[in-house]
Amino acid sequence: MSNWRFVISKRWFGYLAVAVVFAVVCVLLSNWQVSRLEEKRLENSRVLDNYEDDPVPLDDVLRSLDAWNDDQEWTPVLLTGTYLEEEQVLVRNRPRNGQPGFEVLTPLQLPDGRVFVVDRGWLPTGSAQDLPDVVPDPPAGDVTVTARLKPGEPALTGRGAAEGQIATVELSQFDERIDAPVYTAAYGLMASETPAPAEDRPLPAFKPELDEGSHLSYALQWIVFGLLGFAFLGYAIREEYRHLNAEDPAEQARAAARERKRVAKRSDADVEDDILDASVR
């Protein structure tokens, strides 16, 4: 036992502290990946529960202008009103299949004056690089829209946008510009509109994929990394023990036994390679 006393030192306690801190960090990162997995599963359940439902009147889902519940995401709603084309804006930096582009947000004014923002779809960046080549006009007059609910997005600090564009779907910006009550907690991804526009409408949003991602495997990997930290510490202790006790007869006997096992495991091909290497030298 006295041969192991070197472990009881500030140096090795320091190494142990590093291994413990590393393991704690790995556990925290693993838990973060598990929480990401739970969030993804919850998102998938909302898609399964709501996406294919029959559309219902907007008032049946959103009881007030600032009402929102995460369980309402992807719920199809039915609206009738008139597009406020002059208040239409583009949301910049919206890639689709790796191609840069814009989302087209057009406020829809309901018969009672309230305004609900509709995302009419996606347009690619045009030759000018900061605008689509063409922004199709929305249908004029009364229109009936089916849209799937999405929560508004927060403001992005330090992100600006050109005239007629916004950096994120920050619905409060519409409330500031439009002289009418605006829904500020949710907007809608268009599924259909009647009558159809005279020009091709922007590309509709993709149906979200039901994919849990790699969060579970990442969580397990972080646990393995934490355990490997202690395994490496044990290996380092063992190597130093062998170095410090190289002259000890008992350790020499163990080293000889390990060498015999190593030689016994060598194949004939390994022996032939050693002979060839020796002849070359």
Is 220 a member of any domain?
Answer: yes
Whether 4 maps to a domain, the answer reads yes
Residue 123 located in a structural domain = yes
Which long-range contacts does 60-63 make (Cβ < 8 Å, 24+ apart)? 61/149, 62/149, 62/183, 62/185, 62/186
Encode pLDDT of 3-29 as tens digits: 777 778 888 889 899 999 999 999 999
Mean pLDDT of 99-107: 94
- In a domain? residue 200: no
Domain that holds residue 129: 54-194
- For residues 72 and 159, membership in a common domain is answered with yes
Model pLDDT for residues 74-90, shown as the tens digit of each residue: 999 999 999 999 999 99
- Length in residues, the chain: 281
Same domain for 126 and 75? yes
- Same domain for 179 and 228, yes or no, is no
Same domain, yes or no, for 171 and 62?
yes
**pTM of model > 0.85:** no
**Residues 2, 77 within the same domain:** no
In single-letter form, the type of residue at position 276 comes to L
What total of structural domains would you count in the chain? 2
pLDDT in tens, 234-250: 988 888 877 777 666 66
Do both 16 and 65 map to the same domain?
Answer: no
- Dist CA 157 CA 167 (whole Å): 10
Same domain, 166 and 89: yes
